[in-house]
Amino acid sequence: LLVQKYGLDGVHLSDGSRNVGKARKNLGKDAIIGTFCGSSKHDGLNSGEAGADYVSFGPLSITTLRDGNIADSDLFRWWSTMIEIPVIAEGGLNKKVIGELRKATDFLAFGDELWREKNSLNELNDLLGYSQ
C-alpha cells in the first residue's frame, strides 16, 4: 500500500465501507482511515462500524464525481446530530451549499468546482468565507 510505502498518516477510500476493515487490519489502529460513501447513510454507518475515522458524503450538487447521485443536506444534519464520527462534505460545493452545511459538517473536500477555476486560490478563499 502507498500509505506504508511512503509513511503516510492514512488513506481515503472511495468504495464506501467495503475495504475499511481490511485497511484497518493492514494499517493498524493509529492510521487515519476515511471513506467516501456517496449519498448512502447505510454505507456511512457500516464504515463507522468497520473502524473508519471519518466518512464523507457527496457530491452536494451536480459534478463529475461518482454516479450523479446528490447527497442531501438532511443527511449531514442527521449525521452530525446522531453520529460522533466526523463527516465531510465532498464535491459539488458552492456558496449556497457551504452556507447551509457549515454547522452540520466537520470538513469540506473540494473537487473540480475549485480546480477548474483560473484562480483557484481566490475561489478557495471566497468559498471558505461562507463556512464561517
Model pLDDT for residues 2-35, shown as the tens digit of each residue: 888 999 999 999 998 899 999 999 999 999 999 9
* CB neighbour class for 10 (10 Å; exposed up to 12, middle 13-18, buried from 19): middle
Structural domains of the chain, ranges and CATH numbers in brackets = 2-131 (3.20.20.70)
CB distance 109 to 91 below 8 Å? yes
Tens-place pLDDT, residues 46-100:
999 999 999 999 999 887 656 778 999 999 999 999 999 999 999 999 999 999 9
Chain centroid offset of residue 101 CA: 13
Q: What angle do CA 57, 124, 31 make, to 5 degrees?
A: 45
All cell numbers assigned to 24:
484497518
